[in-house]
Amino acid sequence: MDAQKEIIELRRELERHNKLYYVYDSPEISDYDYDMLMQRLKALEALYPELITADSPTQKVGGAPLSQFEQVSHQVPLESLTDVFSIDELFAFGSRMDSLLSQEHRYVVEPKVDGLSVSLEYENGVFVRGATRGDGLVGENVTENLRTVRSLPLHIENAPERLIVRGEVYMSKSVFNKLNEERELNGESLLANPRNAAAGSLRQLDPKVAALRKLDIILFNIQFTSGTPYMSHAASLDAMREMGFPVIPYKVYDNIHDCVERIEQLGSDRDALSYDMDGAVIKIDDLTQRQALGSTAKAPRWAVAFKYPPEKKESRVIDIVVQVGRTGVLTPKAIVEPIRLAGTTVSAATLHNQDNIDKLDLRIGDTVLIQKAGEIIPEVLSVNKSKRPEGTVAYRLPDNCPECGSKVVRDEDGAALRCTSPECPAQRLRNIAHFASREAMDIEGLGISVCESLVNSGLVSSAADLYYLNVDDVAALDRMGTKSAENLKKALEKSKSAGLARLLCAFGIRQVGQKASKVLAVHFESLDKLMQADIEQLTNIPDIGPITAGFIVEWFSKPQSLHLIERLRESGVDFESHEEKKDDRFAGLTFVLTGALEKFTRDEAAAIIESFGGKTSSSVSKKTSYVLAGENAGSKLTKAESLGISIITEEDFSNMIL
């Protein structure tokens, strides 16, 4: 491959990964693999400088702001840092500083928190605006979501008239682990790492959702101050701490060799930190010296970020265990001899499914190479067959559920093996927790820990049992008491009127989530009518395909499901639809919403469309009927224009629903 062609392909690949990482918070590759692609592109551009273009990923920062948020121009650009990957590169940075700075200079070393970079603006000590980094020059206004961050002060004492500071929003390891535990119990895909979880939470359009994620923030720079300027970075950090900001821990050193010792120490102590870190930052301390050094088109010359390489270690598989999830899926996990990996002790690693085990040809007794996916979830990368002991046999997942003994079947549409019994004990807790969750019956105070107590005590063995609970029995549970029990009883009574759409979602029928539940509730209006529907009737409904229809009919045919429904009926749970369907004027039409709407929230607009028989989609295609475009509409609007799809304003939409 010639250099020009490889450069073009690398740029396209890096831009794609930039968008996945910065804009959609769903990266496909690790940070290390991304860094290696970037290093290759930098090397080629250094060899062929005539091929460097202004739009190369090496010449810019981050990704474009999302169109759903107001765009904010940063008064001071939020630059990124040049990455280094070896001690030799650190010493080279130190040598450059020695040659460029004739006078003595000191360095500041800080941990590099793996989160989402933001700028915060204060006027007379009051927090007035916060924005993401975006492309470094323009970011997204996430002020309301930032107000929900517990560690962010909304007012500071002894502040200058105007102050702009920069920090990193992150999700603590403990909050992240608890969130993943809840997602696993609810049969949801696990989040890869705290950084993606934090970024996705901060970009929620509803601040209430962001608040539930319990984000934190740590500050590491003063971008602008109208007060007396500081002489050093260390002095500015101390000033921020005195103002009440949570500030990054730092140490100051006279030479680059001492910096290296600190970086190695930070790397070995990573597990003791409450936040995830992917490196360490080395900066010149004197701010006048920084100004003299200046910046390149992309990054300051006075700082670098040392990136720790992903750790991979070998261990021996001593067993393979199988867990059963809420939806009955069997997930194999390798139990390995404990090893220290990326700051924590690892004794188990995910194997995903039987297909992955076959691909690895993994057996009990094998020596395997383990890495943390996203530096959080341990997974087996490969098998060292040269160390395989004699007498090992290929591993097969069981034909029967390890929890209840029921027959296991393979999904027709995937690699998953699934227990067929809805009464499986392993699924019981997960089913009850899902039934009570926010997207389902939304029973306040019935989180996973309370569900677990109810199940373990024998008070609840199915979702219907919740509505027959006695206050005194619940009050006797650990960490409950009479007041909590009474509040739970009130929440349960309130949930009885949640309506058919929420109830259908709570049932946990495969492929019937919130959207499909609403569609079914609007169409059938009552649970009894839906129960009489056959596959043909169901597939005539938009968004309900033959596979989903089959799952619905199958679920309603099971005796356990019918028993659950009757007990819910006897308890007074409402089986009627609360989804108002006004008329069918939008029947057969698909709307895509993009940009910032003024008269409606997106959820409100979507609910109106559905009430008139239409549906919404997150992506534009030839099947799209209308694109409702608000302010700062982005790529969806461009695509709609290229496909010739009708574009309507909020005023047009308002006239359509009169």
Read off the CATH number of the domain in which 270 is found: 3.30.470.30
Higher-confidence position of 489 and 67:
489
Q: Which among 357, 352, 350 has a CA at the least distance from the CA of 334? A: 350
362 and 439 in a single domain? The answer is no
User: Is position 576 within any domain?
Assistant: no
Among 321-330, 421-430, 638-647, the range scoring the smallest mean pLDDT is: 421-430
533 and 599 in a single domain? The answer is no
450 and 540 in a single domain? The answer is yes
pLDDT of residue 185: 64
Confidence of residue 23 (pLDDT cuts 50, 70, 90): very low
Give me the mean pLDDT over the 630-641 stretch: 79
CB atoms within 10 A of CB 80: 16
Higher-confidence position of 650 and 503:
503
208 and 323 in a single domain? The answer is no
pTM higher than the cut 0.75: no
pLDDT of residue 568: 95
Q: Among 508, 537, 571, identify where a domain stops.
A: 571
Residue 65 has pLDDT above 70, yes or no: no
* Spatial distance between the Cα atoms of 301 and 313, rounded to a whole number of angstroms: 35
pLDDT > 90 fraction of the chain, expressed in percent and rounded: 39
Higher-confidence position of 33 and 187:
33
Catalytic positions are: 112
Higher-confidence position of 272 and 6:
6
Going from the C-alpha of 474 to that of each of 312, 439, 440, 460, 492, the distances in angstroms are 47, 24, 22, 11, 13
User: Is position 581 within any domain?
Assistant: no
Among 17-26, 254-263, 643-652, the range scoring the smallest mean pLDDT is: 17-26
48 and 103 in a single domain? The answer is no
User: Is position 411 within any domain?
Assistant: no
Among 80-94, 179-193, 218-232, 499-513, the range scoring the smallest mean pLDDT is: 179-193
Among 138-147, 210-219, 375-384, 437-446, the range scoring the smallest mean pLDDT is: 375-384
User: Is position 566 within any domain?
Assistant: yes
pLDDT of residue 373: 57
User: Is position 628 within any domain?
Assistant: yes
* Spatial distance between the Cα atoms of 438 and 14, rounded to a whole number of angstroms: 37
**Domain range enclosing 361:** 312-389
Q: Name the strand (E) or helix (H) holding 340.
A: strand 330-341
Higher-confidence position of 599 and 282:
282
| Angle of CA points 517, 519, 521, to nearest 5° | 65
105 and 134 in a single domain? The answer is yes
Q: Beginning with the edge strand found earlier in the chain, give each strand of the sheet holding 216-225 in spatial order.
A: 126-132, 116-123, 162-170, 216-225
pLDDT of residue 110: 97
Confidence of residue 326 (pLDDT cuts 50, 70, 90): low
- Strand-pairing partners, residue 253, are 107
225 and 329 in a single domain? The answer is no
Residue 22 has pLDDT above 60, yes or no: no
**What is the CATH classification number for the domain harbouring 15?**
1.10.287.610
pLDDT of residue 315: 94
User: Is position 10 within any domain?
Assistant: yes
235 and 359 in a single domain? The answer is no
Largest CA distance in the chain: 85
Confidence of residue 92 (pLDDT cuts 50, 70, 90): very high
- Strand-pairing partners, residue 647, are 627
pLDDT of residue 258: 95
**What is the CATH classification number for the domain harbouring 494?**
1.10.150.20
Give me the mean pLDDT over the 503-526 stretch: 87
- Strand-pairing partners, residue 164, are 121, 224
Q: Which among 143, 150, 167 has a CA at the least distance from the CA of 241? A: 167
The pair of three-digit structure tokens given for residue 523, joined into one six-digit string: 């169409």
> What beta strand segments (E) does 526-632 contain?
590-594, 615-617, 626-629
Beta-strand relationship, 408-410 and 417-419: antiparallel
End-to-end CA distance of the chain: 60
pLDDT of residue 332: 92
Averaged confidence pLDDT in the chain: 86
* SS3 category, 77: coil
254 and 316 in a single domain? The answer is no
How many independent structural domains does the chain possess? Answer: 5
Going from the C-alpha of 620 to that of each of 73, 173, 596, 616, 629, the distances in angstroms are 28, 37, 17, 10, 12
Among 70-79, 88-97, 180-189, 194-203, the range scoring the smallest mean pLDDT is: 180-189
Q: Among 268, 287, 307, identify where a domain stops.
A: 307
Q: Who's near 438: CB < 8 A, 6+ residues apart?
A: none
83 and 135 in a single domain? The answer is yes
336 and 232 in a single domain? The answer is no
Q: Among 541, 571, 601, identify where a domain stops.
A: 571
299 and 336 in a single domain? The answer is no
The pair of three-digit structure tokens given for residue 524, joined into one six-digit string: 């059938």
* SS3 category, 100: helix
User: Is position 177 within any domain?
Assistant: yes
Give yes or no for a contact between 328 and 427, defined as CB atoms under 8 angstroms apart: yes
- Strand-pairing partners, residue 617, are 592
User: Is position 504 within any domain?
Assistant: yes
**What is the CATH classification number for the domain harbouring 385?**
2.40.50.140
* Spatial distance between the Cα atoms of 448 and 181, rounded to a whole number of angstroms: 9
**What is the CATH classification number for the domain harbouring 625?**
3.40.50.10190
Confidence of residue 342 (pLDDT cuts 50, 70, 90): low
* Spatial distance between the Cα atoms of 167 and 118, rounded to a whole number of angstroms: 6
For residue 17, the one-letter residue type is: H
Summarize pLDDT for 476-485 with one digit per residue, the tens: 988 888 888 9
